[in-house]
Amino acid sequence: MTAGTGIGARVPRREDKRFLTGTGRYVDDLPLARATYAYFLRSPHAHAKIKTIDTTAAKAMPGVVEIFTGKDTAESKMGGLICGWVVKDKNGEPHKAPAHPVMALDTVRYVGDTVAMVVANSIDEAKDAAEAIKVDYDVKPANVDLAHALDKGAPEVHPEAPGNLIYDWEIGVKADVEAAFAKAAHVTKLDIVNNRLIPNAMEPRAAAAEYDKGTGNYTLWSTSQNPHVLRLILSAFVLGIPEHKLRVVAPDVGGGFGSKIFCYNEETMVCWAASRVGRPIKWTAERSESFMTDAHGRDHVTHAELAMDKEGKFLALKVETIANMGAYLSTFSTAVPTYLYATLLAGQYTTPLIYANVKAAVTHTAPVDAYRGAGRPEATFVIESIVSKAAVEMKMDTADLRRKNFIPTEAFPYQTPVALQYDSGNYPPIIDEAIKISDYKGFEARRAEAKSRGKLRGIGFSSYIEACGLAPSNVVGSLGAGVGQWESAQIKFNPTGNVQVMTGAHSHGQGHETTFAQLIHDKLGVPMDQIEIVHGDTATTPFGMGTYGSRSLAVGGSAIMKATDKIIAKGKKVAAHLMEADVADVEFENGTFKVAGTDKSVPLGQVVFAAYVPHNYPLAEVEPGMDENAFYDPANFVYPSGTQICEVEIDPETGEVEVIAHTAVDDFGNIINPMIVEGQVHGGIVQGVGQALMEAAVYDKTTGQLTSGSYMDYTMPRADNFPSFKLGYKTTPCPHNPLGVKGCGEAGAIAAPAAVMNAVRDALAPLGIKHVEMPATSLNIWQTIQGAHRAAA
């Protein structure tokens, strides 16, 4: 290994040059000859029957090539979009699966639902024509308010889901939990809302497609986090184009955060229409369309209770949650509030008994699915909010109460009462380090100083656990997943010694082209500039599951390591022949094969050359070529953990919350590129703080109009909302993958909301305020403070 570029080094990213010089290639950048442009006419109503759609006038508009509606897709027998995870309810029945047509047929179910697709020579002509389409709607009452979505008499979203209930699911034994509550010395209760968010990747979703009449092949370029999975869904369920006749390319993609995992209406239509139009079609969402139609995140209403003995030892936890699915079940939506949420409710604690009941509801709002953290931020928010509240009620130090209940280091592997077995962890040094970095001990002095300036200062903790590195296929299969969750890699040497590494993972900002190259460099000794990482194209990479759930390194990196093992094993045989030695005596180190105990050696490059020009080669025993692939299916999830501490100051006059300091100490196992890992933590923290303090997707409760549909109304975190962050690490390597790594992509967003809100509640406690909901905007805080004043008066 060359020092400074292998595992553990802060290698500057190889992909940066193209992004910094404006030469990145995103979907919208593609030059496609004779392209047409698509525009989607969308429902202005949350719930309506479509009486008629008249496209006659629109079709006669200048530049219009074609207009398609649900009638056309129905006639072509297009399948509906699917939800790929079957969750079984309390009684073992599969969840309700309402139809999800790609184009609305006779009903629209949220503002933004797709009604017609206009294809024209230019985007302006397409938009003009869309305005000329006449749709006669019969507007119906909408079911918008989640807290009442399951009430008797709430407007029905789908006939297939009576009472708007998709499933009523549970985990744990309720009677045992109730028995523990009956014996508790103290019970802390919490009602809490996890606010709905809009992912807002800076690159809007886009799709472009081309059909080759000669071969019958389709190419779809899509802003996808998982091109192979998208192709599989389109082929097997929706369009019926065989997989080998459909190539899906996800080139440079400008952020995803989950929202680009799913199979969407627009890319489906663009692909389908390409052969009908006979010219390439391009579509790029406008930001207002992203707000309306990207799958949203979170949106839970929860009641939780924690039972303790008189020393503060947790005895049992019970949680009741209503989760919003939106109008249709998006690709992985059903798994998020169940297997990615309730199974995490043990957190870092030894709570022996847990019961959770989750009811999933459909509403007349955009579909809701995985968003950075997916279920795990919601779980962490519940646990860490109730633990902090319990500490206040028990008059205990918030850190001490956590420590008292931590899973002891010697107890790993640790079986929780909610299905997961944590593989490794060591929580006390993490919280200690966070306390040190944040100077928790000096906090009361800072609080007093702030008070002298008329400010309310608060501090909040959040000790999270997450299960990521998705996922062991047999486990997710037994829980209802429709796919496996392994990852693939192919290492293809060229005769001149450089190497292409194909991965089934996909980078949309995570820096795989650097991190994965570091692995190859470290393991095989190939110089960095001789390594190319290839991803995002079903035509050039082996089938892979894509990037989400902090899985790329833990699963995709492990596949790469497996493939390097195969390269070395084969290389040894060739090298043994070249050095006239016994293969058992050949060792590989720093890019060179050696015969143990001698000075005989042959570099990998020479072995590769011999494999492609096999003149002097053991052809009877070894095939020519140096090209190996591997599939890696993880033995377990990986379990990153950490503690964040947030310190805020509130101006009681204006309600404004300022984040003064934010500390994160994480255990991500071994780290390949610390610079990239820090970037992931920073970005995650900001999304988490954004959720806590500013972001909220708001629908008008009567009309179902999205009132936070632009950057004027949806507050995005900006640079001046934050201080610089303080980070620290502790390392317990993952025991079951070859790199000893855990995931780092979601941790920041998982832990931050509870840390911030615990700090806000701590700051407001002197006013007698016990609870504040997210987002803690200045208006929200100001109103809460006014309410407290009125109550006190």
Partner 1 sequence: MTGTHVGCDTSQCGACVVEIDGKSVKSCTILAVQVEGSKVTTIEGLAPSADKLHPMQEAFRDNHALQCGFCTPGMVMSAIDMVKRNNYQLDEATVRRELEGNLCRCTGYHNIVKAILAAAPAMKSAGV
CA dist., res. 785 & res. 793, Å (int): 12
**Is 20 an interacting residue with respect to ligand FES (CB under 6 A)?**
no
Q: How far is the CB of 191 from partner 1 (least distance, A)?
A: 30
| Residue with Cβ nearer partner 1 (197 or 383) | 197
| Residue with Cβ nearer ligand FES (413 or 711) | 711
Residue 573 interacting partner from ligand FES, partner 1, none (CB closer than 5 to 8 Å by kind)? none
Q: How far is the CB of 127 from ligand FES (least distance, A)?
A: 17
Tokens of 347: 């957190």
Helix (H), strand (E) at residue 394: helix 376-394
Q: Which position among 147, 202, 411, 791 is part of the footprint of ligand FES (CB under 6 A)?
A: 202
Residue 71 interacting partner from partner 1, ligand FES, none (CB closer than 5 to 8 Å by kind)? none
| Residue with Cβ nearer partner 1 (471 or 659) | 659
Q: How far is the CB of 287 from ligand FES (least distance, A)?
A: 7
C-beta separation of 745 from 368 below 8 A: no
CA dist., res. 249 & res. 32, Å (int): 14
Helix (H), strand (E) at residue 770: none
Q: In terms of Cα–Cα distance, which of 470, 225, 485 is closest to 343?
A: 470
C-beta separation of 27 from 221 below 8 A: yes
The β-bridge relationship of strands 186-197 and 641-651 is unpaired
Q: How far is the CB of 506 from partner 1 (least distance, A)?
A: 12
CA dist., res. 461 & res. 427, Å (int): 14
| Residue with Cβ nearer ligand FES (682 or 726) | 682
Q: How far is the CB of 288 from ligand FES (least distance, A)?
A: 12
| Residue with Cβ nearer partner 1 (142 or 693) | 693
CA dist., res. 596 & res. 736, Å (int): 30
| Residue with Cβ nearer partner 1 (474 or 710) | 710
Q: How far is the CB of 266 from ligand FES (least distance, A)?
A: 20
Q: How far is the CB of 255 from ligand FES (least distance, A)?
A: 5
Q: How far is the CB of 202 from ligand FES (least distance, A)?
A: 4
Residue 204 interacting partner from partner 1, ligand FES, none (CB closer than 5 to 8 Å by kind)? partner 1
Q: Is 256 exposed, middle or buried (0-12, 13-18, 19+ CB in 10 A)?
A: buried
What lies within 8 Å, CB to CB, of 248 at 6+ separation is 219, 220, 221, 222, 224, 227, 228, 230, 231, 234, 537, 538
Give the x-and-dash track for 489-518 against ligand FES (CB under 6 A).
Answer: --------------------x---------
- Taking CB atoms, the residue at the shortest distance from ligand FES is 202
| Residue with Cβ nearer ligand FES (312 or 709) | 709
**Is 613 an interacting residue with respect to ligand FES (CB under 6 A)?**
no
| Residue with Cβ nearer partner 1 (42 or 570) | 42
**Is 255 an interacting residue with respect to ligand FES (CB under 6 A)?**
yes
Helix (H), strand (E) at residue 756: helix 747-764
Local structure of 656: helix, strand or coil? strand
| Residue with Cβ nearer partner 1 (12 or 62) | 12
Q: Where are the beta strands (DSSP E) in 471-608?
A: 487-493, 499-503, 531-534, 586-589, 592-595, 601-603
Q: Cα–Cα–Cα angle for 353, 403, 438, nearest 5°?
A: 135
Give the amino acid at 375.
G
Q: How far is the CB of 27 from partner 1 (least distance, A)?
A: 11
Provide the binding-site residues for partner 1, judged by CB under 8 A. Answer: 12-13, 15-26, 28-29, 200-204, 252-255, 257, 286-288, 508-511, 675-676, 678-679, 682-687, 710-712, 716-720, 722, 724-725, 748
Instruction: State the residues that interact with ligand FES by CB under 6 A.
Output: 202, 254-255, 509
